[in-house]
Amino acid sequence: MTAKNETIDRILGRVEGAFRQLLPLAHQELLDLDLTTPQLKVVLLLYLGGSARMSALASALGVTLATATGIVDRLVDRGMVIRENSVEDRRVVVCRLSDRGHELTDRLYISARERARDLLQGFTEAQLNKLDEALNSL
């Protein structure tokens, strides 16, 4: 193994360690959502992508269109997702987060950000500057 690959493995191990520090804190929040894993995936896909066709959601989840429709139906019933016909093509169904869905995902994002902020508070300013420089390189 080259020195570069060893360094990359060390970095990935440290990133995994940081993730493991943050994950237990977020884990309880995710469990409190009372969403199934596929439902949470749809919510996150819509949060990150804005809106998506039903067929794109099915493809991203690796499920049939009928299965994706069932998942979205339950999210619509819970007021998390809005399903609409495309303006360009009425046969196409587009999904997006409702205000309630946005509030939930914003709350998760803000909570995760605050937990990361707490973790970073333990760093010296020199360590923070090094991390900032490294992340800027990405």
Q: Is residue 61 part of a domain?
A: yes
Tokens of 21: 């520090």
Question: What's the domain count of the chain?
Answer: 1
The whole-number pLDDT of residue 18 equals 77
Angle, nearest 10°, between helix axes 65-77 and 37-49?
80
13, burial (CB in 10 Å: exposed 0-12, middle 13-18, buried 19+): exposed
**Across residues 18-44, what is the average pLDDT?**
77
Q: Is residue 122 part of a domain?
A: yes
| pLDDT exceeds 70 at position 34 | yes
What totals of helices (H) and strands (E) does the chain contain, helices first?
Answer: 6, 3
Q: Is residue 56 part of a domain?
A: yes
- Which uninterrupted H or E stretch holds 25? helix 3-32
The whole-number pLDDT of residue 25 equals 58
Q: Is residue 9 part of a domain?
A: no
Here the CATH number for the domain that contains residue 115 is 1.10.10.10
Q: Is residue 81 part of a domain?
A: yes
pTM of the model: 0.72
Range of the domain at 74: 35-137
Q: Is residue 1 part of a domain?
A: no
Percent of the chain topping pLDDT 90 = 43
The whole-number pLDDT of residue 12 equals 86
**pLDDT-derived band at 57, boundaries 50, 70, 90:** very high
Q: Is residue 8 part of a domain?
A: no
- What pLDDT digit, counting tens, does each position of 69-122 carry? 999 999 999 999 999 987 888 888 899 999 999 998 888 888 878 888 888 898
The whole-number pLDDT of residue 75 equals 97
Distance between CA 93 and CA 58 in Å, rounded?
12
Tokens of 94: 């587009």
The whole-number pLDDT of residue 46 equals 96
| pLDDT exceeds 90 at position 43 | yes
Q: Is residue 94 part of a domain?
A: yes
